[in-house]
Copies of this chain bind each other. A is one copy, B any other.
Amino acid sequence: VKYDGGMKKDRRTLLKSLRLKATPARLAMLDVFALSSKPINAEHISERLKGLKVDHVTVYRTLASFEEKGIIKQVDLRKGSVYYELQEGEHHHHHLVCTDCGKVEDFDACEVGAALPGILKKSSFKAVDSHSLELFGLCRKCFAS
């Protein structure tokens, strides 16, 4: 079951299918991810959960279980904390990150999937579940200044 934010009513179904209890914190965190257009970290989530008073420990534990179940994935933006976004399927995207101002932008072209079989064959690995692919450089504005 993929959760893409276009199925807000099915949050309970999704959690049930993964044998996770539908608690307010989890439902709210699914919403936060669905509504976020950029990767976010634990602090961002806590901020957006203000009304609920969800403990930060719960946020961390929920992130861990969501990641384990494949709902979200880590994104390394080199910002000192772990960022996450929803797992998309086949046609996922990656990011351009400005090392000066921190701006994050998506890009689509990802040919890793196509290259995977060849890489695996030459390696001692048997399976690849996810991958990172972020580009670090300067956005137009920071490049100019």
Contact = CB atoms under 8 A, between A and B. Distances in A.
Interface of A: 74, 76, 78, 96, 98-99, 105, 107, 109, 111-112, 115-116, 118-119, 122-140, 143-144
Given A76-B76, A124-B140, A125-B137, 14 more contacts: A76-B132, A96-B123, A99-B129, A105-B123, A109-B115, A116-B135, A119-B135, A124-B139, A125-B138, A126-B144, A129-B136, A131-B136, A132-B132, A133-B133
Given A115-B109, A122-B107, A128 B78 contact: no
Copy tally for this chain in the complex stands at 2
A133 B136 contact: no
A109 to B, nearest CB: 6
